[in-house]
Structure 1
Amino acid sequence: MMYPVLNDWFDNAFNDFFDHRAMNRMNATAPAVNVKEDEKSYTMEVAVPGIKKEFCRVDLNADGDLELAIENKLEHHEEEKGEKKEHYLRREFAYGNYQQAYTLPDDVDKDHISAKVENGILYITLPKMIEEKKDQVRKINVA
């Protein structure tokens, strides 16, 4: 069942990511990204299995966009054991880097963005700004 997209930001910012035609253009190392929203915040969930938090970088750039970089710094070398070197007969593990900038919605409180890595997922919490109630009912004293 398809659900209508209620948030223009989500539709615009992530449309290319989820477009199956764009998948052919994307690097195979691009992680899967989920975005959810509640009344207080947006939460990005980025799949980073096996990646330590030290290798995840989340920044705001000069344009106010969220920049996400994941660097896999595993060493790729043959280990020496005695006089013989080990070598792989077959090696399929691929380790790459990923970097992407995301345009944030206007209602994100950019001063309170937080991120954590837990169980192979990078969680980026984008809190919404608290709107002041403009139509508050109050009594005004007449002097």
Structure 2
Amino acid sequence: MTITRFTPFSDVAALQNRLNSIFHDFSRPQATEGESLQSGSFVPAVDIYEDAQKLALTFEIPGIKPEDVDVRVENNVLTVKGERALAGEQKEENFRRIERRFGSFTRSFTLPQSVDTEQVTAQSDNGVLVIELPKKAASQPKQIKVAVVANQIEAKENQPASAEQKAA
């Protein structure tokens, strides 16, 4: 008969490691419908805002020069590419800890048909990239005023009789 050592918490430790890996997977940004996300070491956060006139995307890209960002619209898909490199001339093996994320990224978004892809603008200021996509004029809502018809019926009854009506 073989004797094995009983370790009561080994199963608990294995379960905790598994749960940690699951939560680590969920903490990474995920692609949503109409968006593809290529996972890398650096993925910029993006806010998407829409009103009646435009669709605006705001990216956080600190440390990336505007000329190092590639913004393209092709077949109703907006693609933003860039790369954030490790700054300075320090050797990687001399670092004790690196918590900032570096690397290349690609974010793609499928645009709605209401967006005018010919009028796209992009501005960068202090590490914030704002891409504005105006909507087509035909897709903007138009308010139509409703006329009241009941007043016209009353006005016809109160009008004086015409010469033809008097002759009859």
| TM-score range relative to shorter protein | 0.5 to 0.7
List gaps (5 residues or longer) in structure 2. Answer: 1-31, 145-168
Q: Which structure is higher in RCO with an 8 Å CA cutoff and minimum separation 6? A: 1
State whether structure 2 residue 136 is matched by structure 1 residue 129: yes
Larger radius of gyration: 2
- Secondary structure (helix, strand or coil) at the match of 1:42 reads strand
Q: Contact between 2:62 and 2:127, CA under 8 Å: does it hold in 1?
A: yes
131 and 59 in structure 1: CA distance in 2 versus 1, 3 angstrom threshold: same
Q: Which runs of 4+ in 1 moved over 3 A?
A: 25-28, 73-79
The answer for the alignment partner of 1:12 in structure 2 is: 33
Indicate which of 33, 37, 43 corresponds to 2:56.
43
Give the C-alpha shift of residue 26 in structure 1: 4.0
Give the C-alpha shift of residue 104 in structure 1: 0.5
The answer for the alignment partner of 1:115 in structure 2 is: 122
Q: Contact between 2:63 and 2:84, CA under 8 Å: does it hold in 1?
A: no
TM-score, with length taken from structure 1: 0.62
Give the C-alpha shift of residue 34 in structure 1: 0.5
- For the residues of structure 1 that align with 2:127 and 2:119, how far apart are their CA atoms? 23
CA RMSD for the aligned pairs?
3.0
Q: Contact between 2:41 and 2:102, CA under 8 Å: does it hold in 1?
A: no
TM-score, with length taken from structure 2: 0.54
- For the residues of structure 1 that align with 2:54 and 2:122, how far apart are their CA atoms? 13
- Secondary structure (helix, strand or coil) at the match of 2:52 reads coil
State whether structure 2 residue 84 is matched by structure 1 residue 72: yes
Q: Contact between 1:48 and 1:121, CA under 8 Å: does it hold in 2?
A: yes
List gaps (5 residues or longer) in structure 1. Answer: 1-10, 18-24, 80-86, 136-143
- For the residues of structure 2 that align with 1:115 and 1:46, how far apart are their CA atoms? 11
